Structure 1
Amino acid sequence: MSENTAPTREVGGVPLPAAGVWKVDAGHTEVGFVGRHFMLTKVRGRFTSVDATVEVGERPEDSKVTAVIEMKSVDSGDQTRDDHLRSADFFDVEKYPKATFTSTSVAWQGTAGTMTGDLTIKDVTRPVTLKVDYLGYARDPWDNDRAVFSASGKVNREDWGLTWNMALEAGGILVSKEIELSLDLETIRQV
């Protein structure tokens, strides 16, 4: 392959994906979150419908990400909890069916960095910073070039108006305000 068509390249001595557009493969991607119930138990959830694009820049710090999340696709493994998350108490998916993320800046060194972007939930936009790692490249059996990334961060859900809660008799609250975000993104290079 010529240098222009190679799916990876070396930047600063480390292999990174080639500059260009890489589309998220929703079937091999997880946009997850973890909250605490009774301030003790970790409760995990994920969104199963995500459309996202990674534009890898010639310089890694020029890279951009855009994502649209279908909020009704929330799945925490419990139908009653999922219905509550979809209700007006939380995501209000009838009124606000989508959440979006648009990156605004990237700092990068080697195979890791940070990405800051605007996360919009329920028409409220707040900045979020994620730690990002490039995990590697693979060519699948159908000749698609794939680049894999992971990202993580923490947010206060109340910053987006997700304020429903219950006080506990012994003190504390039922649902944590701090939510951990965990993303595993498998992308396919677009030609």
Structure 2
Amino acid sequence: MKRLAFFLTSILLAVFVSVAHAAPQAYVLAQGSKVEFFYSSGPEPTRGTFPITGADIVVDLENVRRSRVDVDVSTARVRVADPFGMVALKGEDMLNTGRYPTARFQSRRITRTRDGAQIEGDLTLKGIRVPVVLQAIFLRKSTAPVDNSELILRVSGEVSRKAFGITGFPNLVKDMIRLDFVVNIARPI
């Protein structure tokens, strides 16, 4: 009985020490990060992408409230399949990329959910800051190290384009735009 008690105490102590020493970890942006967006202009949604150009991300998998996400996106480098659509997206009544070549998302509060995390933050687009609530999950590629040094942060949600003054083509493009951030991150070496 003493051996079992010692064994259980050792396990609990090891778990406590590992959790007590768990701390938020800084991550840097890795290759392949992007924001996909989907908008309806017909029977099938149209997809486009923005490259993520910078990120300040801190992750604490034990206590997600101590995590933070700050992501910069190049709206000037928007890509959609239709070349006319791409020119229209960069125009003044859409993204106005000549004046506003970047967008930014900054988290204010992150809370754990049953399936991942909820991120409350501010999305700034065309110089207009709008509070948004996004859903997030942390993933690891099957080929990544098991020490969580390489992660994928997948963030999704919807925003109103009118809230950002994006009013072009109201008869063709619906108001709600679905966002899907795929942020590849790694701990600095």
Percent sequence identity over aligned pairs: 26
Q: Corresponding residue for 1:170?
A: none
Q: Please, which of 42, 52, 57 is the counterpart of residue 55 of structure 2?
A: 52
| Richer in helix (by share) | 2
* C-alpha displacement of 1:116: 0.9
1:112 aligns with 2:116: yes
Q: Corresponding residue for 2:185?
A: 187
| Richer in strand (by share) | 1
* C-alpha displacement of 1:104: 0.4
Cα 1:134–1:111 change in 2 (3 A) is farther
Q: Corresponding residue for 1:165?
A: 169
Cα 1:151–1:89 change in 2 (3 A) is same
Is contact 1:37–1:176 with CA below 8 Å preserved after alignment?
Answer: yes
Where do residues 1-150 of structure 1 align in structure 2 (5 Å cutoff)?
A: 19-25=24-30, 27-38=31-42, 40-57=43-60, 59-109=63-113, 112-136=116-140, 138-139=144-145, 145-150=149-154
CA distance in 1, matches of 2:167, 2:154: 28
TM-score by length of 1: 0.79
TM-score by length of 2: 0.79
CA distance in 1, matches of 2:162, 2:168: 9
5+ long unaligned stretches in structure 2: 1-17
Counterpart secondary structure, 1:90: coil
Is contact 2:64–2:117 with CA below 8 Å preserved after alignment?
Answer: no
CA distance in 1, matches of 2:68, 2:54: 14
CA distance in 2, matches of 1:67, 1:93: 18
Q: Corresponding residue for 2:5?
A: none
CA distance in 1, matches of 2:32, 2:186: 10
Counterpart secondary structure, 1:48: strand
Is contact 1:49–1:73 with CA below 8 Å preserved after alignment?
Answer: no
Of the two, which has the highest radius of gyration?
A: 2
What amino acid is aligned across from residue 77 of structure 1 in structure 2? A
5+ long unaligned stretches in structure 1: 1-9, 12-16, 167-172
